[in-house]
Chain A
C-alpha cells in the first residue's frame, strides 16, 4: 500500500524553529516530486513548497520563502520541511503530498494524514 506518514508537529513559540518529516512507503520515492501543503484550522488548502525528484529544484510560496527549507533523502524515502522564524500565521496542519511528475509539477495524487504545527506563546 502506498503511504505517506508525517511526523514532528509540535507547539512552538513565535520566532522558533521546527523540522517536520514525511516517510514514504509502497512506491518508488525518487520517481516523484514532493510537496508540503498546509491547512489552518477551519480554513482552505495552501501550497507551501515543492522539491523535484532529485532535490535540485525547490520552490516556495511567498508567505514562507526565506524562512522555510524543503529537502529530501531518497535513500530513506523521506521528505523534510525545516521552518524558521515561525509566526502565529504558520499554525496549521501540514500535509505531505506526492506529485504525479518527477521533474516538474502537477496534481497531487497521494496525501498523508498531516502533522499539526501550533505557533503560540
Chain B
C-alpha cells in the first residue's frame, strides 16, 4: 500500500497570505495525485487532479505541482472560504489512499 504523508498537520495563516501544503508518497506515483478540500460540515470537493490540473469551477488561486513522490498544493491568496481541511490522494493503483490531511486555520 502506498502511504501518503501530508505536512504540516495544521497551517495557521491570515487571509491574503499564501499557503503551501505538502504531500509525499511512499513510492513513485507519477502524476496520479488529486487534492480535495473539505470545509466544516461539508463533503469533500475535488480541487486538483493529475497533480496540476484544476477541476471544473476551481479558482485560479489554487495550483498543484510536483511528480513522482513530492507534491505541493498552493493557495496564492487565502480567502475566508479557503480555511478548511485539505487531503491528497493517489490513484496510481487500485489501493487508493488518502493523506491524513492539512488543516488551514485562521491565525
Binding site for B on A (CB under 8 A): 35, 37, 44-47, 50, 59, 61-62, 95, 100, 105-114
Contact A45 B87 (CB under 8 A): yes
Expressed in whole angstroms, the minimum distance between the Cβ of B44 and any Cβ of chain A is 6
Look across to chain A and name the residue whose beta carbon is closest to the beta carbon of B49: A107
| A to B CB contacts below 8 Å, 25 in the list | A35-B96, A45-B87, A45-B89, A45-B101, A46-B98, A50-B94, A50-B96, A59-B94, A61-B95, A95-B43, A100-B49, A105-B91, A105-B94, A105-B96, A106-B32, A106-B34, A106-B91, A107-B46, A108-B34, A108-B36, A108-B46, A109-B46, A109-B49, A111-B45, A113-B43
Q: Which A residues are in CB contact (< 8 Å) with B55?
A: 107, 109
Q: Which A residues are in CB contact (< 8 Å) with B56?
A: 109
Q: How far is the CA of A50 from the CA of B101 in the complex (A)?
A: 22
Interface size of B as a range: 20 to 34
Q: Which A residues are in CB contact (< 8 Å) with B87?
A: 44-45
A-B contact count (CB 8 A): 58
Q: Which of B71-107 contact A (CB under 8 A)?
A: 87, 89, 91, 94-101
Taking a contact as CB atoms closer than 8 A, the residue among A44, A105, A113 that contacts B101 in the complex is A44
Taking a contact as CB atoms closer than 8 A, the residue among B34, B38, B100 that contacts A107 in the complex is B34
Q: Which of B33-65 contact A (CB under 8 A)?
A: 34, 36, 38, 43-46, 49-50, 55-56
Expressed in whole angstroms, the minimum distance between the Cβ of A118 and any Cβ of chain B is 18
Classify the interface of chain A: helix, strand, loop or mixed: strand
Expressed in whole angstroms, the minimum distance between the Cβ of A78 and any Cβ of chain B is 19
Q: How far is the CA of A109 from the CA of B47 in the complex (A)?
A: 9
Q: How far is the CA of A106 from the CA of B33 in the complex (A)?
A: 8
Expressed in whole angstroms, the minimum distance between the Cβ of A99 and any Cβ of chain B is 9
Of residues A37, A44, A107, A111, which shows the largest number of chain B Cβ atoms within 10 Å of its Cβ? A107
Q: How far is the CA of A46 from the CA of B95 in the complex (A)?
A: 11
Q: Which B residues are in CB contact (< 8 Å) with A45?
A: 36, 38, 44, 87, 89, 98, 101
Expressed in whole angstroms, the minimum distance between the Cβ of B45 and any Cβ of chain A is 7
Q: How far is the CA of A61 from the CA of B93 in the complex (A)?
A: 12
